[in-house]
A and B are shown apart, each in its own frame.
Chain A
Amino acid sequence: VDCQSESFRYPQLYSPGQQNLYFNKKVFVRCMMHSWYSSLILFFIPWAAMHDTVRDDGKDIADYQSFALLAQTCLLVVVSVQLCLDTYYWTAVNQFFMWGSLAAYFAVSFTMYSNGMFLIFTSAFPFVGVARNSLNQPNVWLTIFLASLLCLLPVVAFRFILIQLRPTINDKLRHKVQMEALPAPAPRRPPPRRISTRRSGYAFSHAQGYGNLVTSPPGWSPGQTFTLKLSQYSNWWCFLADECRCHCESVHMNIYRI
């Protein structure tokens, strides 16, 4: 079924994987800088916001347990939204797990910090009452909002500018397909018309692999190589899936005729 989709029309989608575009030393260092920046934000924003402040009824909020809960909640929100930014293909399963995990975090926190758990396992749940007493404060939620946006907005801006200045194959293709889809606004996007762009993120075609062994059927001498290296791998993928055989053989023949 994969072979019926766009990936055969645009074999260049495999090239970022082969060129190690998505995971190399530069990307790794960039990732580390991003985490370093996020960690500083996730500690120092709650620290500065909780410094010498109190609840709106004058009682304590700058205590150890409330501070821990605040930093933890900021972290969860940042991680979830970052995942949302990285998910390009939202099926019902994605939606369920994404919002579900945020909801589960709050559900588990409130359960762990509830009276019931404290009364059953006294020394194991010392944070009783923390969620109730700190998460009903507006300045706590404003701090969470500030820390999350401060971590995420630079990522969004950076990605947007990178798409405009140096678009990758994926970005160009996604943009093109979206432009094509716009003139005919169907009430629901028909499922078969999907791009397997997320597949091309799986940069597994960049190794030399066994392409040669699989794609040289009897009759072809080993010396014969192709001008388009990419087609070699498209065929390898194809030969592994039984159903594609008829489709792929025709494509196979076309490419070999170059």
Chain B
Amino acid sequence: MVKQEQELDNRPDNTAFTQQRLPAWQPMLSAGIIIPGFVLIGLAFIGIGVALFVTSRSIQVLEIDYTGVAQDSPCFKCSDPNAKNCMCTMEFSIDSLFQGPVFFYYGLTNYFQNYRRYGVSKDANQLSGDLEYFTNPSDDCAPYVYDNNKPIVPCGSVANSMFNDTFKLFQIVNGARKQVPLDGKGIAWWTDYNVKYRNPNVTPLRNAFNGTVKPVFWSRPAYELDPTDPANNGFINQDFLVWMRRAALPNFRKLYRRITEGDFAEGLPAGNYSLEIAYNYPVLSFDGEKKVVFSNVSWMGGKNEFLGIAYLVIGSLCVVMSIVMLIVYAKFKFPEED
């Protein structure tokens, strides 16, 4: 009897939770839900696909390759590795109004910013303005940590390889060149400009860089990146921020400027244009290419036909599948016996 009482004590509680009697919903893959579901999803996808495709088609893109590989290219003379401070001019024309606001990107190909050793080669503490790391940069930045025993600020491969070609755009009107104003404010993410990258809290800014040197590949130190705008210097320089946000894929574009002001607020009117390039960035050693891209944007971003086409294809496949399933269900419905 005692043994039975002990067994009764150890018995688990007789509640719904412990005896697994909780009320439950038991869904089943029944024809009444699946087949109409597939039809609905298919139709919705086709609708979204049409919207995406039409929007993508309406976005205008103009790409101009200026690497200078071909002998007859205007920038061929600059592709010589010994040429320093070379300038070249590319001429192009636009047939119809290029709707504004127009975004001006530079593009690189075969450039692996997603390479891991390259990507970790920076010091986040230095870039958020911590002066301790100015004198003692992190070892992640190797081999760009010290130059002649002086610490490099900003250290690392990512900062060192910053893109340094500059562009000026002119519209040819009656034989005269009219400069197109390029706006470089706010081209980087708000969080990069305000949170992730901060200048050290020293005025004037150049005093914070005492005892340090600029990166090996740069022509100007960080506190002089933009002589025209004092707020666009140091680590919060917009071009620097855009470069530091490393690209995921080997062929990428980065925003350079926006064309939104003056006579070009509506966009780039049809006509002839000339692009003056200060060709500094060497890409031929790794078979890379440089190009300039003009584009406008829409609610879905830049021109990308893949999403529209994918949605259309998948939507049609869903509708076809639902018909197939309907046929299977009608012909092969399993009999009702156990």
Contact = CB atoms under 8 A, between A and B. Distances in A.
B175 to A, nearest CB: 32
Residue from A47, A49, A66, A93 whose CB has the most chain B CB atoms within 10 Å: A49
A170 to B, nearest CB: 11
A190 to B, nearest CB: 9
A64 B189 contact: no
Given A88-B26, A191-B16, A58 B103 contact: yes
A62 interface: yes
Interface string B15-32: 010010111111111110
Interface stretch (A102-110, A129-137, A212-220, A231-239): A129-137
A128 B191 CA distance: 7
B75 interface: no
B38 interface: yes
Interface stretch (A16-24, A149-157, A201-209, A250-258): A149-157
Contacts of A142: 48, 52, 300, 307, 311
B310 A48 contact: yes
Given A122-B130, A164-B334, A174-B28, 9 more contacts: A52-B253, A54-B255, A58-B258, A63-B248, A122-B128, A128-B196, A157-B321, A165-B332, A194-B24
A91 B23 CA distance: 6
Given A48-B310, A64-B113, A56 B125 contact: no
Interface residues of A, number: 75
B184 to A, nearest CB: 12
Interface string A56-82: 111111111111100000000000000
Interface in A141-194: 142-143, 146, 149-150, 153, 156-157, 159-161, 163-165, 167, 171-176, 178-179, 188-189, 191-192, 194
A126 B23 contact: no
A47 B306 CA distance: 10
Contact of B242 (A60, A91, A146, A157): A60
A4 B332 CA distance: 34
A157 to B, nearest CB: 5
A160 B303 contact: no
Interface of A: 1, 10, 45, 47-68, 88-94, 115, 118-119, 122-123, 126, 128-129, 132-133, 137-139, 142-143, 146, 149-150, 153, 156-157, 159-161, 163-165, 167, 171-176, 178-179, 188-189, 191-192, 194-195, 242
Interface string B323-337: 001001100111010
A149 B114 CA distance: 28
Contacts of A55: 297, 301
Contacts of B253: 52, 54, 62
Contact of B301 (A48, A56, A133, A179): A56
A132 B191 contact: yes
B189 to A, nearest CB: 5
B246 A64 contact: yes
Contact of B28 (A128, A143, A175): A175
A139 B29 contact: no
Contacts of B195: 115, 118-119, 128-129
Contacts of B190: 129, 133
Contacts of B39: none
Nearest to B337: A172
B314 interface: yes
A63 B298 contact: no
Nearest to A154: B321
A242 B11 CA distance: 10
Given A58-B255, A118-B195, A164-B334, A52 B26 contact: no
Contact of A163 (B29, B247, B297, B303): B29
